[in-house]
Chains A and B, each alone.
Chain A
Amino acid sequence: MTTLDASDDVVRARGVTKRFGDFDAVRGIDFTIRRGESFGFLGPNGAGKTSTMRMVSAVSTPTSGSLDIFGLDPASRGSEIRGRLGVVPQEDTFDLDLSLRLNLEMFGRYFDLPRRVIKERTGELLEFAHLSDRAEDKVDNLSGGMKRRLTIARALMNRPELLILDEPTTGLDPQARHLLWERLYRLKREGVTLIITTHYMDEAEQLCDRLVVMDHGRIVAEGAPADLITTHASREVLELRLGAEDHAALAPRLADLAERIEVLADRVLLYVDSADDTLASVHRAGWRPERALQRRSSLEDVFLRLTGRTLDE
């Protein structure tokens, strides 16, 4: 099964586009994902992340451009590629007629695994998902978090070399998120390549070795989280709420105090080297902000810089 690929690239995309009718969901993207790394796609809803994930999962084919997965062409070798992938789609979809156990067992059959192996792994995966005591239940009776864990467990049935997770922690409570992150670290240590899309900045910073920022179907930046922050944002940020007045009108008068400023609907962000020093200058200049928040720059700021929008917009 394993192809002898000279390079260690798991996914290679060159000029990939995806068009639905007259809507361009993906407008020509290039990226390379190496074996063993965890690679992120960051962007707001509608940026083209899910379309990209579906192409990388060998479920839909690019409209144009070239895409290799494990060095194979998904258009002609889709089945073979999918046999080596694990996919966690954005929506949890199960076979609602079957119990949890049968959902997992049947999934193993779709991969042509021997029944003995399936039985063994089903037990392990139910354990992994903390769902052993619910094995004979119908999936419909599970909570949102339980369904998410089951989806992830199911994606591991074939021991994938590459695991693709589309918004894996959306809708999970903080405790469940951290538990999931811990599981993903473990898989990564075992050598599994991870692809993750998220609109949570902390998740991207925690999990991704490298990431791309997508907006309007294009890749607008690429790099390690820390490098992206260094390149596209200052060291620190001072966030000011100046009361009921129109923030945009005040902006020019604050511009001298920072390397760069961003005006949002309810606050102004000042990109500076030291938020402490800048706050002192703000006070000296006679401003009395209602609230001032000092923090380090994050991927959120990178995103704002590159797209002019916040992520949840």
Chain B
Amino acid sequence: MGRVLPVLGSRRALHVVERNAMFYRNQWLMFASGFVEPLFYLLSIGIGLNHLVGTLDVGGRPVTYATFVAPGMLATSAMNGAIIDSVFNPFFRLKISHAYDSMLTTPLDVGDIALGEALWALARTGLYAVSFVGCMFALGDASSPLALLEIPGALATSFAFASLGLAACTYLRSWQDFDLITLFSLPLFLFSATFFPLSLYPRLLATLVWFSPLYQSATLLRGLNVGHLDPWMIPRLAYLCALGIIGLAIAARRFRRLLSP
């Protein structure tokens, strides 16, 4: 990796992942809560609304509301998890404890730190995605074997949001600025066609929603969930990966500027 993406970090980035794993070893309750979270999502919205809403159409097939909304919740969970791991914790180490400054007196490079934090967010949300998809099968919200591909789909979603989050955290000045992150993530959550189909949105809003990475993720996962493959999945996945790479490049640049001027 060091040779392919020298700007974006090297094998040493894994030490940053190891560092975070070491921290959570003593915080297992906090870590474990991530596995229970999908049940909250699926039980509250899925079961609650399932009886009120009739069937919806995904890829030309009628599905229950619970089956419709579950992949949207998985996408949202991947986004939220990635944002927490890439904005809050790195902000603390970057600007409050200055732990990164001491890490940079070792062979670690700025790019290793940025890449390592992104990889950590991926690893953690990846684990939660496995649990999420497991719950979906258990509750009958997923039936196609292709639904297993939602796990890499969720990873791509985390990658996009973790990298953008890392880039964003370098611009935050204080804890107050975290409101800006919510200002960004809450509308994304509410307006990304996670709860109901894009076709119900007014035309202008629908065009805007199309650019939302969360919409692209939810739609991708929804198709996989019912086992309906279509060629649009490729550009959706590419969009998420491209955002991830661009975000990581910006994050590495910003980290360099702040930590190693």
- Contact residues of A with B, CB < 8 Å? 20, 57, 59-60, 78-80, 82-83, 85, 87, 89, 91, 93-98, 102, 106-107, 109-112, 154-155, 158
Contacts and interface: CB of A to CB of B under 8 A. Distances in A.
Contacts of A102: 22
A111 B106 contact: yes
B261 A60 contact: yes
B261 A78 contact: no
A309 B18 CA distance: 49
B99 A83 contact: no
Nearest to B19: A106
Nearest to A84: B107
B258 to A, nearest CB: 12
Contacts of A158: 106
Nearest to B93: A95
B97 interface: yes
A168 to B, nearest CB: 14
Interface in B177-227: none
Contact of B103 (A79, A91, A110): A110
Nearest to A51: B261
Given A20-B261, A79-B109, A82-B107, A97 B102 contact: no
A60 B98 contact: no
Q: By CB atoms of chain A within 10 A, which of B22, B97, B105 has the most?
A: B105
A95 B97 contact: yes
Given A102-B22, A109-B15, A93 B99 contact: yes
Interface string B53-75: 00000000000000000000000
A107 B230 CA distance: 48
Nearest to A81: B107
Contacts of B102: 89, 93-95, 107, 154
A82 B92 CA distance: 24
Contacts of A80: 107
Given A20-B261, A109-B15, A57 B105 contact: yes
A137 to B, nearest CB: 13
Given A79-B107, A111-B107, A96 B261 contact: no
Given A60-B260, A93-B101, 11 more contacts: A78-B109, A79-B12, A82-B105, A89-B101, A91-B101, A93-B97, A96-B92, A106-B22, A112-B15, A112-B107, A154-B102
B107 A97 contact: no
A20 B15 CA distance: 31
Interface string B100-130: 0111111111000000000000000000000
B107 A110 contact: yes
Q: By CB atoms of chain B within 10 A, which of A59, A110, A155 has the most?
A: A110
Contact of A87 (B12, B105, B108, B260): B105
A259 to B, nearest CB: 45
B98 A93 contact: yes
B223 to A, nearest CB: 40
**Interface pairs A-B: 6 shortest CB-CB:** A110-B106, A87-B105, A93-B98, A96-B97, A79-B107, A95-B99
A110 B97 contact: no
B114 to A, nearest CB: 15
Nearest to A88: B105
Interface in B1-26: 10, 12, 15, 18-19, 22-23
B97 A107 contact: no
Nearest to B27: A97
Nearest to B25: A102
B18 A109 contact: yes
B99 A110 contact: no
B22 A91 contact: no
B19 A94 contact: no
A80 B12 CA distance: 12
Contacts of A98: 22-23
A97 B106 contact: no
23 contacts: A59-B105, A60-B260, A60-B261, A79-B10, A80-B107, A82-B105, A87-B105, A89-B101, A89-B105, A91-B101, A95-B102, A96-B92, A98-B22, A106-B18, A106-B19, A107-B106, A109-B15, A110-B12, A110-B15, A110-B103, A110-B107, A111-B107, A112-B15
A60 B101 CA distance: 12
A83 B101 contact: no
